Amino acid sequence: MRIGILGAGNIGKTLVQRLSAAGHDVKVANSRGPETISPDVLAKGGRAVKAEEAVVDVVITSTPFMSIPKMRPLLASLPDDVTIIDTSNYYPHRGDKIDEIDNGQAESAWVAEHIGRPIAKTWNTIITASFDANDKPAGTPGRIALPVSADRKRDLDVAMALVEESGFDAIDAGKLEESWRQHPGAPCYCTDLNRDELPAALAATDKSRLAKRREIMIAAMDERFGMSINGEVEPAVRIMRALFL
């Protein structure tokens, strides 16, 4: 598959490496130009390109949330059969507040509206350190499962297949309007659940508590880790589980 990844940061880098290693033709772009993409991003294959060259059969957006509307000129006019998969999370403390989301619109529904395209949403519920360290072959007992939301069957199928290839079980989490079940603050958020545990966690999500829990999580993570968890996956997941499960 030809895959373009917009964003070469924590999540984008691992996606380039995993999906290249899985045999896909991967291009990656950031906002500053291909020459600024670190060679280790391309250690397993893939090519650094300009953003307009990265919009191919499947496009993965893995940028800060508020960068996504800026990509509309690139994404809105893509052919109908291009699947766009978004990894982003809305953290209002990092930048602009979005009233529609604060008032209950699912983040991914807002993204789809603002880029003028349907999307799938996944890879947003795993901390980068766990994403880097905890991929496993399909069939491994206890393999971490990730929720995938999408409105179109084709987008869901493509995103679920790529999640599996990236080293995780993929679970159908339903339509975008229900994707608040995978928001920061939800029981499935960064708690590294497996396929037996994830469906019940999605079903148990209480939408009215998400924003408050997200703020508590930010405070708890800041107090424990400061700017970076530096690979301390287990303590980070323990904190998330204590807060959300």
Ligand X SMILES: NC(=O)c1ccc[n+]([C@@H]2O[C@H](COP(=O)([O-])OP(=O)(O)OC[C@H]3O[C@@H](n4cnc5c(N)ncnc54)[C@H](OP(=O)(O)O)[C@@H]3O)[C@@H](O)[C@H]2O)c1
List contacts with ligand X (CB under 6 A): 6-12, 29-32, 51, 62-65, 67, 70-71, 87-89, 124, 126-128
Q: Specify the pairing of strand 120-121 against strand 145-150.
A: antiparallel
Nearer to ligand X, 37 or 139 (CB): 37
Nearer to ligand X, 63 or 83 (CB): 63
Of the candidates 198, 187, 195, 199, the one whose C-alpha atom is nearest the C-alpha of residue 140 is 195
Q: How far is the CB of 10 from ligand X (least distance, A)?
A: 4
Q: How far is the CB of 54 from ligand X (least distance, A)?
A: 8
Nearer to ligand X, 128 or 166 (CB): 128
Nearer to ligand X, 51 or 145 (CB): 51
Q: How far is the CB of 115 from ligand X (least distance, A)?
A: 11
Q: How far is the CB of 30 from ligand X (least distance, A)?
A: 3
- Closest CB to ligand X: residue number: 9
* Cβ contact 51:27 at 8 Å: no
Q: How far is the CB of 208 from ligand X (least distance, A)?
A: 22
Nearer to ligand X, 108 or 124 (CB): 124
Of the candidates 121, 143, 141, the one whose C-alpha atom is nearest the C-alpha of residue 130 is 143
